[in-house]
Amino acid sequence: MVQITPPALAKPALAPTSDRQQGGNARNVVITTLLLGTLAGDLPAFELRDPFATRSLVPPRPSLYGERAAPPCQPLPADAPYGLLEVVNLALCRNPTTREVWSATRVQAAQVGLAESDLLPTLNGQANASRVRIDSQSAQQRSASLTLSWLLFDFGARSANLEVARQLMSAAVSTLDSTVQSVFLNALQAYYNAQAARAAVAAALETERASRESLTAAEVRYRVGTGTPADRLQAQTAWSQATLSRIRAEGLLRNSFGRLANVMGLDANQPLRLDDLAATPPDASFEGDVAALIAEAREQRPDLKAAEAELRAAEAGVDYARAAGMPTLSLSAGPQWADLGSATANGSSIGLTVNLPIFSGFNTTYNVRAAEARTEVQTARRDNVRQQIALDVWEAYQSLATATQTVRSSVDLLASAEQSERVALGRYKAGVGNILDVLNAQSALANARLQRIQAMLDWYVSRATLAKAVGTLDGQLLLMGSNRPQATRPSGPR
């Protein structure tokens, strides 16, 4: 270390203490105490003002409506039904996962502020007072100093550290966006599962009603002598099975409502009411060039943006590791005052300090190697995300295409099953059919209803999954499955 200090400022003047000097020294103590007290009182307020404006780097809290939500993140009244918009909005702003990742972006924003603060000088004040007793003699000693320290040159280490912090901040924001889309999709899946479970209960009730009607018809024929006991017993068995299916469907509905409440950040026992699901006919607007969808996904997907930002941070980390082993140049200056009882000292100093790392046990060498290896790791992770995006889009596209065709086929299946059940029951009531035809037709109708429900559920979920795979899952998608008017169009979470 090389210390460069002007001699005229390095040596304080020592002189016998006089009354005038004592008065001046007392003023120095008062001034120093007031100065330090003022700084101590002002610094917390100064810190709260966010001088580097890092709060502007943090995106708003996850919410479908943004700042327009009023009241924000509050459940609806007990008698109010939840639509798709309310479910997703509550999931985004109340789910612990989104709150955790949003708080992580605030932590990283503070790290950017810390990196920027390294570029500024520091000012430290110090005041000491002591009483020394030797044999029978005692004396008071007081001193005060104010020191300015400023790292002037470090071969770009601080700039590289700031770049690392900024890139990690960018990665944190993209990670937040990716997490928001994941929670968004989970909320959609939970909502549509609950709607499907509700429709399954309605279908089970209809099947139970039809089975009861068949049992009644079998009992009528048995009483008039045109039916057999076997017909009545078979109809009774079918009705009992339909009742059991309805009970199971109601249990699945309660569980689906509990999972939906959990995704929304509520307790599983929270009572929920749902809006009727809007009738949304399947469309083929998603059909197109899969390669174009993959290219769009690689432009839009936030997880790929996060991986690329982490790669840039790793590259900046290599520069920081190299610069950390280079010399640094620092400036220090400040006044000092001391009262030794029998003498006083007043002075000031200013100096330049050059720090020359000569040998650090090859620490810098291996720090650079580790940073370069981390860059290779992040490059591989980025490439892996790019490959995974292509697979996600391909699978989601094929799933949606299959779901669209299944919905169309399930419509025809349900219509034919309903017609078959009506014909079989009518023939049986007219005395020209048998109970097995009726029961088989009713079983086929029950399966057709469930397949229709499952097909619509798969289509809704596949549509949202493809939007997430492309990176465009936002509030616009919800308008297609919501009964809300266009005036409530949300801004989206992205």
Q: Give the separation between CA 108 and CA 106, rounded to whole angstroms.
A: 5
Give the residue, 39 or 218, on which the prediction is more confident: 218
Q: Can you say how many angstroms the Cα of residue 451 is from the centroid of all Cα atoms in its chain?
A: 35
- 16 has pLDDT over 60: no
- 474 has pLDDT over 90: no
Q: Of 218-232, 251-265, 373-387, give the lowest mean pLDDT range.
A: 218-232
- 70 has pLDDT over 90: no
Q: Report CA Rg, the chain.
A: 38
* Mean pLDDT of the 313-325 span: 94
Q: Give the separation between CA 94 and CA 100, rounded to whole angstroms.
A: 10
pLDDT in tens, 432-453: 778 888 888 989 999 999 999 9
Q: Of 20-24, 173-177, 235-239, 334-338, give the lowest mean pLDDT range.
A: 20-24
User: What percent of the chain shows pLDDT beyond 90?
Assistant: 53
Q: How confident is the model at residue 84 (pLDDT cuts 50, 70, 90)?
A: confident
Q: How confident is the model at residue 30 (pLDDT cuts 50, 70, 90)?
A: very low
pTM: 0.79
Residue 480: its pLDDT value, please? 57
Q: Of 130-139, 164-173, 262-271, 315-324, give the lowest mean pLDDT range.
A: 130-139
Q: How far apart are the first and last CA of the chain?
A: 52
Residue 76: its pLDDT value, please? 86
- Look-up: residue for tokens 């404006």? 53
CA distances from 264 to 90, 96, 192, 273 (A): 5, 9, 14, 13
Top-ranked range on mean pLDDT: pick from 249-263, 266-280, 455-469: 249-263
DSSP string, 215-267: HHHHHHHHHHTSS-HHHHHHHHHHHHHHHHHHHHHHHHHHHHHHHHHHHTTS-
CA distances from 401 to 40, 394, 404, 417, 456 (A): 66, 11, 5, 24, 13
- Look-up: residue for tokens 């490439």? 383
Q: Which residues pair with 462 in a beta bridge?
A: none
Angle, CA of 407, 408 and 414, to the nearest 5°: 80
Residue 360: its pLDDT value, please? 86
Give the residue, 134 or 218, on which the prediction is more confident: 218
- 147 has pLDDT over 80: yes
Token pair in block for residue 405: 């065709």
